Amino acid sequence: MVALVALVAAFPSLAPDSFILSVGVVIASYAVLATSWNFVGGFTGYISLGHAAYSGLGGYATALLILRADVNPWLALALGGLIVAALAVPIGIASLRVRGASFVIVSIALVLILLLVFQSWGSFTGGSNGLRVPRPFGDDVLRPEQHERFFYLHAALLAVLLLCWWAIDRSRFGMGLKAIREDEDKAQSLGVPTFAYKLVVFVVSAFFTAIGGGMYALWFGYLDPIFQFSILVGSYMVLMSLLGGIRSLFGPLLGAVIVGYAMEFFKAQYGDTQAHLIAMGALLALVVLFMPDGIIPALGNLVNRFRPKAASIRELTAEELTVQREQQEVRG
């Protein structure tokens, strides 16, 4: 843990140029989104491919509050997250009544609907022309300094997310969520308020995803509905979490580092080709086949396999001592 914090703190000074630093910001942004998604996927087992809806809404809410209402950028970021959380309540009430493939289809449909809305409503959202977002630190700040500041901001947000995930994981609320993940019907029969638990964690996940989307909008400075409301963005969140391990604290972070670096590498090497999509598909297939629980659980199982087993020492009862003596007498 200390080594990880030290590495994150030293990364901007170790980055050789602004491009590598920008890649670090992208990876940190992916880590925030994947960890936010993992509040739903990791705890309840509900696989949402449409979480790009909340990151896109968070980005546009932040930008529109700045441009239309002249709100301070950081206040707009917080208000944008709260607005998306409020919208997630009725969405969750409607979508969480279904499970499995039906929930996946509903989540995809939400992204497609929002894409059409934000493309068509050009007078308010900018439509297909996109929307420029004023940079919070001003245009006089050089690009490397912008990247460095937003890298630390994303890292701080990620730390808050990890702390919240860790706290929920060890709480009674988290135990109820994990019971839903293992067997929702049995959890409900045992008295767990399954729907209320699912709705709460769904709203929490949407809030943090929206904050991540708003942070990205402030850093990148431009929003395009085709990218913001893309099924691929939601798929990346799922892939990163599955790759690292959805049931582990640092699983989405590890997946974000691998997937984020691989994507930027393929884009730098092969440009606008679809090579990175082929690589992501192959990577997902390998993980599902050989490490279905993710890298971190697989490594943990491997370490436990080679770890020497501790011998248990306990006192024998009188009956056990009598049996041992009789066995020794028979052998003698």
Higher pLDDT, 275 or 237: 237
Q: Say if residue 152 is exposed, middle or buried (CB neighbours under 10 Å; 0-12, 13-18, 19+).
A: middle
Determine the distance from the C-alpha atom of residue 265 to the mean position of all C-alpha atoms in its chain, rounded to a whole number: 21
Q: What is the mean pLDDT of residues 110-120?
A: 94
Spatial separation of the C-alpha atoms in residues 18 and 20, rounded to whole Å: 6
Per-residue model confidence as pLDDT tens digits over 210-229: 999 999 999 999 999 999 99
The more confidently predicted of residues 283 and 57 is 57
pLDDT band of residue 263 (cuts 50, 70, 90) is: confident
Q: Which residue has the higher pLDDT, 293 or 156?
A: 156
What's the pLDDT band for 276 if we cut at 50, 70, 90?
A: confident
**How far apart are alpha carbons 164 and 113 in whole angstroms?**
31
Instruction: Give the pLDDT of residue 274.
Output: 74
Residue extents of the structural domains in the chain: 2-331
pLDDT at 328 over 80: no
Residue 2 has pLDDT above 70, yes or no: yes
Residue-wise pLDDT for 163-177, tens only, equals 999 999 999 999 999
Residue 320 clears pLDDT 70, i.e. is over it: no
**pLDDT at 299 (0 to 100):** 84
Residue 53: pLDDT band with limits 50, 70, 90: very high
Comparing CA positions, the residue from 116, 145, 151 lying closest to residue 27 is: 151
Helix or strand run (H / E) with residue 98: none
Whole-angstrom Cα distance, residue 281 to residue 279? 5
> Mean pLDDT throughout 267-278?
76
Of 72-86, 102-116, 246-260, 308-322, the least confident: 308-322
Measuring CA to CA, how many Å separate 175 from each of 8, 135, 169? 31, 41, 7
Q: Residue 300 has what pLDDT?
A: 83
Alpha helix segments (H runs only) across 96-224: 100-120, 122-125, 143-169, 172-182, 184-189, 194-220
pLDDT value at residue 329: 67
The better pLDDT of the pair 62, 306 is held by 62
What pLDDT was estimated at residue 18? 86
DSSP sequence for 16-68: SSHHHHHHHHHHHHHHHHHHHHHHHHHHH----S-THHHHHHHHHHHHHHHHH
Nearest Cα neighbor of 75 from 259, 218, 248 is 218
The answer on pLDDT for 186 being more than 70 is yes
Which residues on neighbouring strands pair with residue 131, listed in sequence order? 223
Q: Reply yes or no on whether the pLDDT at 63 is more than 90.
A: yes
**How much is the mean pLDDT over the chain?**
88
Going by pLDDT thresholds of 50, 70 and 90, the confidence category of residue 247 is: confident
pLDDT of residue 140: 63
* Entry pTM: 0.88
At 134-150, the pLDDT tens digits run: 888 876 667 788 899 99
Nearest C-alpha neighbor of 252 from the set 20, 14, 29 = 29
Average pLDDT over residues 186-194: 93
Write down the pLDDT at residue 321. 61
Assess whether pLDDT exceeds 90 at residue 312.
no
